[in-house]
Amino acid sequence: MIATNENSCPNKELILRDPSASNLTLWSVNLALNRQEDTLSECRFTFKVSPELYQRVNTQGLFNLKPELHGPFAAGNFQAEADIEITAIVRPDLLPQLTNLATNPDEALTYLQNLSQEQPDNLLLSTESWFCSHVQQSIESATIGYCTFWSYVSPSIITQEANSNGQVSQAIIQFIKDWSDADMSKAEETISQSLEEMTKVFEQLADTGLAATEEAISEVFAEFNNAFTELADTANEALVQEATDEINLVTTSRQIFEEIVNFFTKDDWAFFKIKGEPTLRLAFQGKNGKWTCYAKAREQQQQFVFYSICPDNAPENKRLAVAEFLTRANSGMIIGNFEMDFEYGEIRYKTSIDVEGDRLSFALIKRLVYANVTMMDEYLPGIMSIIYGEAEAGEAIAKIET
């Protein structure tokens, strides 16, 4: 496959916006379009900022410049008297906008300039849509600066064959090795923090549609495993094992959530993914009412929890009576239990399972889910008779259980 690079002319003003909708005025140094044959595969924008503006970028983590993903500094620290150049890579899922409306780098930069006037809220102009790969400052004959994780693993390769041919794995290895070579005392902290931040970013990218399927993100985590296994040959074995264990935990947790999504998809439930959490919100219609459910993967504990939430909270003057009812209902329960938040009066039925060292299957999820909604549906009339009527707990339980 033939790769071509195209570069634009410098010294053009471009205004981008940070998450608070504040403007950042940047001066272009270069805009490069990389193509694989006739397909635009990457857009890199290099711009210069004052040391003061760099401090804002660095402190606020703009352009995904997370401190956990910084590489080691080369040739000292930045000086106060010279501009700093930043190179950032755009999110690959936004490339079609440039492909359709710009045939070369100059047209691409002009298009971005026009967008800043006509559509300032366009995602292409958001600092969160760009991933900083290099930061440098030229002082006389020296170049000071550092690379970030995104110079090793460009966001663009996550949607290409590199995700499965070892390129991601090798890039991660090199990133950690470079940190270890620079300061071995920070290697353990770097691995842990970098892994956590990588996980967050990849999951965010999956939510935006960057990766075509959940399977693509799982492959990335598999590459993490490969990377740290290879590091065992060159780094401290205990350190590598600790990092590998953490990766395995993240991978297992994601597998749990994938199984949850798979179950409710195949079982024909409508659901909503709660952003930033491994949790689904669902609705269930029983014989005696309709209520909200939550299916959650507890990541650190490697557990699956399913909740049915009673459609009405217990008022303060009925909470003791409801608590007695739930205690009587829980007596003899085998799978799951009722619980109530005494502060707010929320009532729910909970079923859960710990899958540490094992896997979550379709059959297990089905058993927990339907045992859960069956119990809520069965006892819901009794709960309502206490909340809205004058029934006593013992009387309401007897009516249900006989």
Q: Where are the domains of the chain?
A: 1-152, 155-254, 269-401
Q: What is the pTM of this model?
A: 0.56
CB count within 10 Å of CB 162 equals 18
DSSP annotation of 128: G
Residue type, 390: E
pLDDT for 225: 56
What is the four-CA torsion angle of 243, 260, 300, 197, rounded to 10 degrees?
50
Q: Are strands 303-309 and 347-354 parallel, antiparallel or unpaired?
A: antiparallel
pLDDT for 211: 46
Above 90 in pLDDT, residue 3?
no
Better-predicted residue by pLDDT, 237 or 201:
201
Tell the CATH topology of 269-401: Yope Regulator; Chain: A, (3.30.1460)
**Sequence-ordered list of residues with C-beta below 8 angstroms from that of 311, at least 6 positions apart, any chain:** 289, 290, 291, 292
Alpha carbon 280 to its chain's center: 15
Above 80 in pLDDT, residue 29?
yes
**Sequence-ordered list of residues with C-beta below 8 angstroms from that of 57, at least 6 positions apart, any chain:** 24, 49, 63, 65, 86, 127
Among candidate residues 57, 60, 61, 54, the one with its CA nearest the CA of residue 77: 54
Confidence of residue 1 (pLDDT cuts 50, 70, 90): very low
CA angle 145, 43, 89 (to 5 degrees): 40
Half-sphere exposure of 174 (CA within 13 A, CB side): 13
Confidence of residue 215 (pLDDT cuts 50, 70, 90): low
pLDDT for 213: 41
Ramachandran category for residue 164: left, alpha or beta (phi over 0 → left; psi -120 to 50 → alpha): alpha
CB count within 10 Å of CB 7 equals 14
Among candidate residues 380, 356, 350, the one with its CA nearest the CA of residue 368: 350
Better-predicted residue by pLDDT, 229 or 149:
149
Contact 348, 310 (CB under 8 A): yes
Q: Distance between CA 150 and CA 171 in Å, rounded?
A: 10
Average pLDDT of span 350-368: 88
Among candidate residues 43, 157, 55, 159, the one with its CA nearest the CA of residue 97: 43
